Amino acid sequence: MSLWTPPADDAPARLADLRVNYQAGTLEPADLPGHPLGAFAAWFDEAAASGMPEPNAMVLATADAGGQPSARTVLLKQADARGFVFYTNLESRKGSELRANPRASCVFPWIALQRQVCIVGRAELIDRAEVADYFASRPRGSRLGAWASRQSTVLDDRSSLEQRYRDLEARYPDDAVPVPEFWGGWLIVPETVEFWQGRVSRLHDRLRFRRVVASAALDDPSGWTLERLSP
């Protein structure tokens, strides 16, 4: 019987019985480089080498001006000394929320490794020249899709979306698809970067880099302190 189609009176018990006793590894301060960028790069390389699908997928949480939160999965496209970069329609729900309330959190749920990385910080728009460079590197279909989708707005039906895409294919028959003004990138500048390793009996290891120098880059050990959190 499928987990998602049990008798109604059995569903809570089935869900409550789902658990994993984490035993994949441990995490000590000496296991991490001295700054959050190096630690993230090391863990990301391990996630990518594990063969898990899309290790750059991260759950991005934003909130509107009134504090109402929303979350979705986006793809990390760059991690450097500035922070973590993703691209999107700037008029989407997340884009509108980040303009109104430029605070964000993102989580890399590397479940296969019994790990996660949690980032909290502020959001800044990426320079348009950098946006254009990245947009040009995307497949033509993705560039046309960026134009076709009025992201987060209500569609009458899918056919209207597909017709817009066909119209754009005709408008831009070659590879020269310009970057839309409503499309861009966001940089998440972390205040904290937490590394979580699952442990037996839910006594997980949580090590958090916390920014102590406001202008510190992510690869500057002197700008961060490392602290252990209770699981």
In this predicted model, what pLDDT tens digit does every residue of 80-126 receive, in sequence order?
A: 999 999 999 999 999 999 999 999 999 999 999 999 999 999 999 99
93 catalytic? Reply is no
Output the pTM of the full model: 0.92
**pLDDT tens-digit series, residues 127-162:** 999 999 999 999 999 999 999 999 999 999 999 999
Q: Residue 195 pairs with which residues in a beta bridge?
A: 117, 207
What totals of helices (H) and strands (E) does the chain contain, helices first?
6, 9
**pLDDT tens-digit series, residues 113-129:** 999 999 999 999 999 99
Please, what's the b/e burial string for 137-162 (b: 16 or more CB within 10 A of its CB; e: otherwise)?
ebeeeebbbbbbbebeeeeeeeeeee
Domains, the chain: 24-138+181-229 (2.30.110.10)
The residue whose two tokens read 């700008």 is 223
Which residue type sits at 54?
Answer: E
**Tokens read off for 110:** 């590397």
What secondary structure letter does DSSP report for 154? Answer: P
Which residue type sits at 73?
Answer: T
More confident residue, 15 or 183: 183
* pLDDT at 7 > cutoff 60: no
Residue 1's pLDDT is what?
A: 42
| Other residues' Cβ atoms within 10 Å of the Cβ of residue 2 | 5
Query: Of these residues, 202, 206, 208, 210, which one is catalytic?
Result: 202
* Averaged pLDDT score across all residues of the chain: 95
